[in-house]
Amino acid sequence: MATINDNYLKLKAGYLFPEIARRVNTFIEANPEAQVIRLGIGDVTEPLPQACRDAMIKAVEDMGDRHSFKGYGPEQGYAWLREKIASHDFQARGCDIDASEIFISDGSKCDCGNILDIFGNDNVIAVTDPVYPVYVDTNVMAGHTGDINDKGEYEGLVYLPITAENNFTATLPTQKVDLIYLCFPNNPTGATATREYLQAWVDYARANGSIIFYDAAYEAFITDPSIPHSIYEIAGAKECAIEFRSFSKNAGFTGTRCALTVVPKNLIGKAKDGADVEVWKLWNRRQSTKFNGVSYIVQRGAEAVYSAEGKAQIKALIDFYMENAQIIRDRLTEAGLAVYGGVNAPYVWVKTPDGLTSWDFFDKLLHNCHVVGTPGSGFGAAGEGYFRISAFNSRDNVNEAMRRILEKF
């Protein structure tokens, strides 16, 4: 009799975004004339950069001639893409990362989940609260937790609260943890990490033999030169950190699909017998066996991100979204709300007024203003009383949404 993975039964009924979609659809059915503006899910809205499109059209044409046709590519990604990433994203910032340490994938969401494949089931795992739900849910699925409690926390996970009180940067754990998820610029709070703060984490990890999963999906939104873009800008990080990056939010690849994971070669994990094992070898084996590389066409599109035209077009995209963020911050402040984030990050994190719960605020915003955001409690218990607003939308929609909030909330 085939049995199922019972850990799946521990998962909360709905992932956050499907629940939002359900409430929005119910509202639209009841109010078909409403012009709903979605500032909820962190999805980009503006066209793909011309340089990426040109490169992909050229790549499709390559596929039409048997001499330039590409069959299976390297599971790790093409060298020409890995080398450009190593050079532009890492070496240019003084990070000693080699192309061979970069693995191209079809998404950071996939990599953040799949990375658990290569680690033991006995690791103590720390996440911030609130947190990107994928980190938690993939650990539940892998059997790394107990049941969920009334607060919405899974037994066995170490939750590190991030709130206005600690400036949305978690205090280092007093207990020993083995795997730590950090995300900067942060989803959902929009907080950033200073060099000193990250150095404290790296020092903690090295002292405890821990490994940091560093999610840098939003690094392109950093404008302050003092804020590190990569964990590898921190001394010692190559010995204790894996970094996840994506083309989704800088180049608008959410529907095109390309990301990367950096696994340094001198990163070590422990076997049951205490032996040192190179984590790079395990991830290389995992990707070779359970993955077949990213579409050649898409990799050519990602490569164009590093061309002069690509860089200029991406800067314009980022600037555009960051102007949106500034407008959101300004108008919500004007509306009397306490706002965080939205500087060096595309998310604005709002304190709900009048003691409203996150979902109450969601419903009120949807019904009164026809604006969709994301309830902070969907990201964890400590997100209760907060609300995420995304800067990913057209200028007209952002202006109109803010106008409605100022007038009707």
For residue 27 the two structure tokens come to 């509202």
The 286-325 site mask, x for binding its own copies (CB under 8 A), equals x-xxxxxxxxxxx---------------------------
CA 151 to chain centre: 24
Q: In angstroms, give the least distance from the CB of 401 to its own copies.
A: 17
Alpha-carbon span 125 to 177, nearest angstrom: 6
Number of residues that bind its own copies (CB under 8 A): 82
Q: Which is nearer to its own copies, 176 or 195 (CB)?
A: 176
Alpha-carbon span 27 to 366, nearest angstrom: 8
Please name the residues in contact with 250: beta carbons below 8 A apart, sequence gap of 6 or more: 219, 220, 305, 314, 317, 318
Site residues (CB under 8 A) for its own copies, limited to 52-71? 53, 56-57, 60-61, 63-66, 69-71
Residue 308 to residues 184, 258, 279, 298: CA-CA distances in angstroms? 26, 20, 35, 18
- Is 390 annotated in a binding site? The answer is no
- Is 42 annotated in a binding site? The answer is yes
Q: Which is nearer to its own copies, 98 or 106 (CB)?
A: 106
Q: Which is nearer to its own copies, 168 or 347 (CB)?
A: 347
Question: Pick from 359, 381, 363, 379: which is nearest to 371 by CA?
Answer: 363
For residue 25 the two structure tokens come to 């659809």
3-state class (DSSP) for residue 244: strand
The pair phi, psi for residue 229, each rounded to 5°, is -90, -30
Q: Which of 76, 114, 187, 189 binds its own copies (CB under 8 A)?
A: 114
Q: In angstroms, give the least distance from the CB of 313 to its own copies.
A: 11
Q: Which is nearer to its own copies, 317 or 339 (CB)?
A: 317
- Is 388 annotated in a binding site? The answer is yes
CB atoms within 10 A of CB 100: 15
The residue written with tokens 């969601």 in the block is 362
Alpha-carbon span 110 to 138, nearest angstrom: 10
Question: Pick from 361, 366, 359: which is nearest to 30 by CA?
Answer: 366
Q: In angstroms, give the least distance from the CB of 277 to its own copies.
A: 5
Q: Which one of the spans 40-48, 88-96, 194-202, 327-335 is the region binding its own copies (CB under 8 A)? A: 40-48
32 binds its own copies, rule: CB under 8 A: no
Site residues (CB under 8 A) for its own copies, limited to 235-254? 252, 254
H-helix or E-strand containing 241? strand 241-246
Question: Pick from 341, 340, 332: which is nearest to 369 by CA?
Answer: 332
Q: Which of 169, 186, 256, 352 binds its own copies (CB under 8 A)?
A: 256
Torsion of CA 62, 68, 72, 78, to 10 degrees: -80
Residue 11 to residues 6, 137, 307: CA-CA distances in angstroms? 10, 7, 43
203 binds its own copies, rule: CB under 8 A: no
Site residues (CB under 8 A) for its own copies, limited to 372-401? 394
138 binds its own copies, rule: CB under 8 A: yes
DSSP code for 213: E
- Is 25 annotated in a binding site? The answer is no
Q: Which of 29, 32, 224, 271 binds its own copies (CB under 8 A)?
A: 271
Q: Which of 24, 28, 36, 110 binds its own copies (CB under 8 A)?
A: 110
Got the DSSP string for 144-194?
Answer: -S--B-TTSPBTT-EEEE--GGGTT-PPPPSS--SEEEEESS-TTT-----
Site residues (CB under 8 A) for its own copies, limited to 147-186? 178-179
Q: Which of 211, 382, 401, 405 binds its own copies (CB under 8 A)?
A: 211
- Is 218 annotated in a binding site? The answer is yes
15 binds its own copies, rule: CB under 8 A: yes
Q: Which of 31, 47, 167, 333 binds its own copies (CB under 8 A)?
A: 47
80 binds its own copies, rule: CB under 8 A: no
Q: Which residues are annotated as a binding site for substrate?
A: 15, 42, 109, 132, 187, 292, 388
What residues form the annotated binding site?
15, 42, 72, 108-109, 132, 187, 218, 246-248, 257, 292, 388
Q: Annotated binding residues for pyridoxal 5'-phosphate, as ranges? A: 72, 108-109, 132, 187, 218, 246-248, 257, 292
